[in-house]
Structure 1
Amino acid sequence: MKTYIIAIFTAALLGVAGPASAHESAHPEAPGSPAGIVDAFAAALDAGDTAALSALMAPDIQIAESGGIERSLEEYRSHHMGADIEFSKAVETKVLSRHVFEGEGLATVMTEAVSTGTFRGKDVNSRLMETMVLKQTDGDWKIVHIHWSSAKISEGDSH
């Protein structure tokens, strides 16, 4: 958050949150834990730290959003990492809930958040669902899959 970059820009113009890792958690997670890696990803987006972002992701990461997919870190870096950073810096994203499912060398971190602010001159008030799958390799967790989904929040929305 197309064709990925086109989709994020289109979503932003429609007032829907584009790609942004859920951040501003009330309880930061332990560094190095799966949820801590998700927090570090959000912090790197906010800081515009492309080296830190790259270090957190596996080379063969799959990133899905708005019906599109990027099939590697290199593809993400060359297509829309910059737009994700720009979006993350422009809006405030507040984590509403986070669930971590961890097993033998794999973890899934599901986050629900709300993003508000202005991006490229358009108001953003949207709900974000983020799923990150992490794989433990040589003792370190790496993000191997991200799926971002967002929807504009309308007056009277109950969820």
Structure 2
Amino acid sequence: MLGLSWLLIGLWLAPVPSDTAAVQQTVARFHEALAQGDRATVAQLLLEEVIILEGGRRESKAEYLGHHYGRDVAFLQAMRRSIVWQQVRVAGELAYVSTVSRLQGTFRERSYDLSSAELLVLHRTPDGWRIGAIHWSSRPNR
């Protein structure tokens, strides 16, 4: 019986990943999956009702995975991405991650040096944090 008590105390004292860390891990998995062209993981991390805003347009999950996703993968595979600034906020069942990153590389014989802003809204689900909204914008660095 004493062994079980120590086991329960050990489990109680074991570090539990914070919501912030879990959100950051989900966002990192999403970016890694995009950069590697891992469509299954990207699809898994996006909620069915996700809204993607970019370039003044709105896309559903099906629209994004149907055409825009392939262009994003090709572009990101040609870029080096470095995070300049990131903020994670968790509020109950929702979280948002604001990120500014720098993208540099050559794609289709054209050099790029971009500042990219991203806002992800995540929802806590029984399967972990999932992305419910994305807003992307970018501009050339001068």
Is the shorter-chain TM-score for this pair beyond 0.5, marking a shared fold?
yes
**CA deviation map 1:3-45 (0-9, x unaligned):** xxxxxxxxxxxxxxxxxxxxxxxxxxx9971111111011001
- Secondary structure at the counterpart of residue 131 of structure 2: strand
Larger Rg: 2
TM-score (norm 1): 0.74
Q: Report deviation, 1:139.
A: 4.9
Question: Which residues of structure 2 form unaligned runs of 5+?
Answer: 1-18
Moved over 6 A (4+): none
Aligned identity (percent) is 33
RMSD over aligned Cα, in angstroms?
Answer: 1.8
- Aligned counterpart, 2:36: 47
- Aligned counterpart, 1:8: none
- 1: CA distance between counterparts of 2:29 and 2:127? 17
- 1: CA distance between counterparts of 2:110 and 2:89? 35
Q: How many residues align?
A: 125
Residue 35 (structure 1) aligned to one of 5, 20, 24: 24
Residue 142 (structure 1) aligned to one of 107, 121, 130: 130
The higher relative CO (CA closer than 8 Å, separation ≥ 6) is in 1
Question: Which residues of structure 1 form unaligned runs of 5+?
Answer: 1-29, 155-159
- Secondary structure at the counterpart of residue 58 of structure 2: strand
TM-score (norm 2): 0.83
